[in-house]
Amino acid sequence: MSDATPSDAPILEVRDLVKHFHISSGAFGGQAAVVKAVDGVSFAIRRGETLGLVGESGCGKTTTGRCILQLEKPTAGQVIFEGRDLTTVSDAELRKVRRRLQVIFQDPYSSLNPRMTVGQIIAEPLAVHGLVRDRAARAKRVRELLGHAGLLPAMAHRYPHELSGGQRQRVGIARALAMEPALIVCDEPVSALDVSIQAQIINLLEELQAEFGLTYLFVAHDLSVVRHISDRVAVMYLGKIVEITDRKSLYENPQHPYTRALLSAVPIPDPAVEAGRERIVLGGEVPSPLNPPSGCVFHPRCPIAIDECRREIPTLRETRADHRVACIRA
């Protein structure tokens, strides 16, 4: 484990990622319809940094994460991790790469095997990948990993149902750490937790990043949490990235009307601030990805849409240094 500061070489590069799901419409099969869950997504993450991927349900952020992990096979595009395109490597090679590419799931209740003790859950991948072959050494390593995740060694003998939500998420983190990963995809890691526990887990993730030089892809819908943890942020809407830039630019100078609306929709925990706040309440709902709108997919809800927006698909273009926006009006 090396440097903890972001360096310029990307550890992960996603190029024109596409994931279409084919579903049959109607009870009798019928014509297949296509859900364009991820529709041409490109971004890069530098070693040691955290890229926040935000958006509302159905925007494709989780599918993007799963395509990177190769838990879903992308329809098209490349996922280049540490120099290798994961969409073309052999299965044997993929298994080796996976060790360096770990995941922490949203729901710590369903991502831990209820029949295994915490110790077994963490030790299993160590044995499977042959990282620690000796049993006693494995037990020692499990204790060490529990410590990294802020859990007492005695936790190794407990079962998942005996733990609180926060403790379970710590077990999930210890299991991911066991593989000595370079990059962790964190898929809504705190959204199922109570607020007082969320802060504990976020601090833990940041400490571990500094200690082990980890890179995070942080997938979440909570914009306040994403601002806290991310160095750079990408905003997704209906399968596409609509804005991507560094944290400061995104939160202080959002360019895309959707990003602005999202930020304005987050209530601030202070009535005095809330009383004087300008609000953009978007009309309508996120359209179905089965039948996305023409032109810019956001135009039916956009407060500044013009006629052209119905026809022209906006490309993600650089409006200022390291700030890309997919909007012809930005």
Q: Dig out the tokens for 167 from the structure.
A: 């403790």
How far CA 31 is from CA of 18, 35, 103, in Å, comes to 21, 13, 35
How far CA 64 is from CA of 78, 110, 162, 288, in Å, comes to 12, 21, 33, 18
Question: Judged by CB under 8 A, does residue 282 bind another protein?
Answer: yes
Question: Judged by CB under 8 A, does residue 253 bind another protein?
Answer: no
From the number of C-beta atoms within 10 Å of its C-beta (0-12, 13-18, 19+), residue 112 rates as buried
Question: Judged by CB under 8 A, does residue 285 bind another protein?
Answer: yes
List 46's β-bridge partners, or say none. Answer: 10
Q: Which is nearer to another protein, 179 or 223 (CB)?
A: 223
Q: Going by DSSP bridges, is the β-strand pair 101-104/183-187 parallel, antiparallel, or unpaired?
A: parallel
Q: Which stretch binds another protein (CB under 8 A): 43-51, 107-115, 123-131, 268-276?
A: 268-276
Question: Judged by CB under 8 A, does residue 279 bind another protein?
Answer: yes
Question: Judged by CB under 8 A, does residue 167 bind another protein?
Answer: yes
Question: Judged by CB under 8 A, does residue 227 bind another protein?
Answer: yes
Q: Going by DSSP bridges, is the β-strand pair 323-325/317-320 parallel, antiparallel, or unpaired?
A: antiparallel
d(CA 37, CA 326): 18
The answer to whether the beta carbons of residues 175 and 111 sit under 8 Å apart is no
Q: How many residues bind another protein (CB under 8 A)?
A: 43
Q: Which is nearer to another protein, 83 or 276 (CB)?
A: 276
Applying CB under 8 A, among 32, 152, 265, 304 the residue interacting with another protein is 265
Q: How far is the CB of 182 from another protein (least distance, A)?
A: 24
The answer to whether the beta carbons of residues 290 and 277 sit under 8 Å apart is no
Q: How far is the CB of 278 from another protein (least distance, A)?
A: 12
3-state per-residue secondary structure call for 249-282: HHHHCCCCHHHHHHHHHCCCCCHHHHHCCCCCCC
Q: Which is nearer to another protein, 129 or 227 (CB)?
A: 227
Q: Which stretch binds another protein (CB under 8 A): 36-44, 119-127, 257-265, 310-318?
A: 257-265
Element spanning 318, H or E: strand 317-320
Q: How far is the CB of 73 from another protein (least distance, A)?
A: 28
Q: How far is the CB of 287 from another protein (least distance, A)?
A: 10
Applying CB under 8 A, among 73, 115, 269, 321 the residue interacting with another protein is 269
Question: Judged by CB under 8 A, does residue 33 bind another protein?
Answer: no
Question: Judged by CB under 8 A, does residue 168 bind another protein?
Answer: no
Tell me the three state secondary structure of residue 195. Answer: helix
Element spanning 263, H or E: helix 257-265
Q: What are phi and psi of 37, to 5 degrees?
A: -65, -45
Q: Which is nearer to another protein, 7 or 203 (CB)?
A: 203
Residues lying near another protein in the complex (CB under 8 A) are found at 56-57, 164, 166-167, 194-200, 202-203, 206, 221, 223-225, 227-228, 247, 251, 261-274, 279, 281-283, 285-286
